[in-house]
Structure 1
Amino acid sequence: MPAVVGAVKVITISSSSIFNIGDVYAMSPYATAKTFAGGGSFNTGDGIRINLNQSKSNVYDRDKFDQIVTGM
């Protein structure tokens, strides 16, 4: 069903977002990211105590690509 759209002001659009005015069947934004974090990095809560002594995060990635996103 067609719609009447008034004034539109776009300030910013990020790299994995979609901006559409009008009829659309399906939209599917995508983004890829690789996160490296040491032990205990994503803990949340009150009064957490973590003792890791000499913890290390190995960030070396031999194959460079984990999952290739295609179809753009």
Structure 2
Amino acid sequence: MPAIVGVVQVISIGSSSVFNIGDVYKIMPIANAKTFAGAGSFNTGEGLYIHNYQSQTNTYDQDGVDQGILFNA
């Protein structure tokens, strides 16, 4: 069914964003990220007291290419 759209103002759009007006069959934004985090990195709350005496995060990635996202649906 056709869409009737009025005035649209786009201020900015990110590099892996999708902007669509009207009918669409499939929208598939693609992005990937690799996150390295040590002990206690994602703790949230008030009054946290964390003991990380000898914590290390291994960020060496010996494989050259990770799993691709090209054909993900």
* TM-score by shorter chain over 0.5: yes
Superposition pairs of residues 17-56 of structure 1, within 5 angstroms: 17-56=17-56
The 4+ residue runs of structure 1 with deviation greater than 4 A are: none
Runs of 5+ in structure 2 lacking a partner? none
Deviation at 1:54, TM superposition (A): 2.5
TM-score by length of 2: 0.80
Counterpart in 1 of 2:10? 10
Runs of 5+ in structure 1 lacking a partner? none
* Count of residue pairs brought into register by the alignment: 72
Give the counterpart letter for 2:12 in structure 1: T
Deviation at 1:29, TM superposition (A): 1.6
3-state SS of paired residue (1:12): coil
Which has the higher relative contact order, 1 or 2, with Cα contacts under 8 A spaced 6 or more apart?
2
3-state SS of paired residue (2:64): coil
Q: What's the Cα RMSD here?
A: 1.8
Deviation at 1:61, TM superposition (A): 0.5
> Hey, what's the Cα distance between the residues in 2 that align with 1:53 and 1:25?
52
TM-score by length of 1: 0.81
Deviation at 1:65, TM superposition (A): 2.4
